[in-house]
Amino acid sequence: MALVNATVENVSVIGTGYLGATHAACMAELGFNVIGVDVDPEKIASLAAGDLPFHEPGLPELIRKHVNSGRLRFITDPDYTTVGAWADVHFIAVGTPQLKGGTGADMTYVDAATKGLTQGITKDSLIVGKSTVPVGTAARLAELIQDNTGDGITVSLAWNPEFLREGFAVEDTLTPDRLVVGTASEADEQVLRAVYAEALGRDTPWISTDYQTAELVKVAANAFLATKISFINAFAEVTETVGGDITTLADAIGHDTRIGRKFLNAGIGFGGGCLPKDIRALQTRVAELGLDHSMRFLDEMDQINLRRRKKAIALAFDLLDQDIEGKKIAILGVTFKPLSDDVRDAPGLDVAARLFNAGADVAVYDPQGNTNAAKRYPRINYVNTLNEAVTEAELVILTTEWDEFKALTPTDLHNKVTAPRIIDARNVLTPTDWENAGWTFAQLGRKFDS
């Protein structure tokens, strides 16, 4: 007999990275008893002590609140027998990174967690997949679950993709703009309705569908967002050549509510642990299905995006008259976006590393990202203040739009730099302010005459 219309009290969250740690804390905030499980004992020890191993506004406070209230625990549970005997609903929130040496998603962690968890479960339960996966995964996992379920119990599977943004993870989880659930039965849907009762009470759109749609909704959303960014960046390539103002162009088309202004900020492009790998995994998956032509445009989006980094580097060479050897270049921002310490596939870090490798004396400052960046590129010089980065710089490049950088004025920097040259690779500064103050100023999407 399946878990029916359950009064769900106990939930487990398998995987305590970005998604899992946030989901676990938010489930506790919604009143559930929660156990977060991870294979990494260090991560568990740190979370159990109320410390977050990454930067996410509001999340450490929420974790501490519920670790202290006793509603939230973090454990390693190698054979899943603790949570398997305890929780009614288990969320799978492990990572699906890009395969090393490939473009598809690495399903090792999802597969291992699902199989191990199912073998540890000793009562009727619902497993809910939240990880971003190639379409077809849930159907495959449903069979894996069936093959590994103990006698006399029913374990079923639902797919419930997550749309949280880093930097707004708590807000997006507690007040999502929609909830999507792919289930194999009405009973499982009812269990999830009970889990998300609070959001449903606020009339949050509830999309109940099949596994394939639920899986595809997630990758379609990220592919669309990536396409929007690359779309405007493709126009940036045009305005860089013919002249024109890319921000005004974005504003103007964005007024059309069918288009919308969000995700039309031209600049150095998208990075992070999701958009780049998700568009590659999607293409790989549809190619496996014999449909490589359907998503071929995503390869173009990827290329447009990566060309933005090259353009920023080309501008750096232009502003330094093609001679960057030994020149001090201040890189402001190496996280893939503000409010995060995540440097995965971060455009700013990529640019910093390439300029460093080309012989520049690169000084990196990021309010949150230095530590993670230094793990990836230890030889680059990371400094603790904006001031140290720009002092005696021959070129400043703004690569992540942190508030601290957006607020910069020419006078803030003028007496510090050796030469007043700046590239605003996020289009957040006002060109005339800088040009009138005597700066050589360049932006992505803006014609630059060297």
- Sites of contact with ligand UGA (CB under 6 A): 132, 162-166, 222, 225, 229, 263-265, 267, 269-272, 274-275, 336-337
Q: How many CB atoms lie within 10 A of CB 79?
A: 10
Give 3 or 281: the residue with its C-beta nearer to ligand UGA.
Answer: 281
Q: Which of 128, 274, 301, 425 is catalytic?
A: 274
CA distances from 231 to 260, 276, 297 (A): 13, 15, 11
CA angle (296, 302, 305) in 5-degree steps:
145
Give 225 or 396: the residue with its C-beta nearer to ligand UGA.
Answer: 225
Give 226 or 417: the residue with its C-beta nearer to ligand UGA.
Answer: 226
Looking at residue 228, its amino acid is K
- CB of 302 within 8 A of CB of 279? yes
**Alpha carbons 279 and 265: distance in angstroms, whole number:** 19
Residue 308 in tokens: 């933005």
Give 308 or 328: the residue with its C-beta nearer to ligand UGA.
Answer: 308
CA distances from 123 to 33, 39, 150, 280, 364 (A): 17, 22, 9, 38, 53
**Alpha carbons 341 and 343: distance in angstroms, whole number:** 6
Supply the minimum distance, in Å, between the C-beta of residue 29 and ligand UGA: 19
274 catalytic per annotation: yes
Alpha carbon 230 to its chain centroid, in Å, reads 17
Q: How far apart are the first and last CA of the chain?
A: 73
Residue 250 in tokens: 């974005």
Give 33 or 222: the residue with its C-beta nearer to ligand UGA.
Answer: 222
Partners of 441 in the β-ladder: 422
Supply the minimum distance, in Å, between the C-beta of residue 226 and ligand UGA: 8
Q: What's the burial of 203, exposed, middle or buried (CB within 10 Å: 0-12/13-18/19+)?
A: exposed
Supply the minimum distance, in Å, between the C-beta of residue 178 and ligand UGA: 11
What's the residue count for the chain? 450
Give 258 or 293: the residue with its C-beta nearer to ligand UGA.
Answer: 258
Give 84 or 161: the residue with its C-beta nearer to ligand UGA.
Answer: 161
To 10 degrees, what angle do helices 211-242 and 296-319 make? 40
Interior/surface letters 298-333, b for 16+ CB within 10 angstroms, e for the rest: beebbebbbbbbebbbebbbbbbeeebeebbbbbbb
Nearest Cα residue to 383 out of 363, 353, 400? 363
Supply the minimum distance, in Å, between the C-beta of residue 427 and ligand UGA: 9
- CB of 340 within 8 A of CB of 358? no
**Alpha carbons 398 and 402: distance in angstroms, whole number:** 9
Give 123 or 165: the residue with its C-beta nearer to ligand UGA.
Answer: 165
Q: How many CB atoms lie within 10 A of CB 189?
A: 17
**Alpha carbons 245 and 309: distance in angstroms, whole number:** 19
Nearest Cα residue to 89 out of 205, 21, 7? 7
Please give the positions annotated as active site: 274
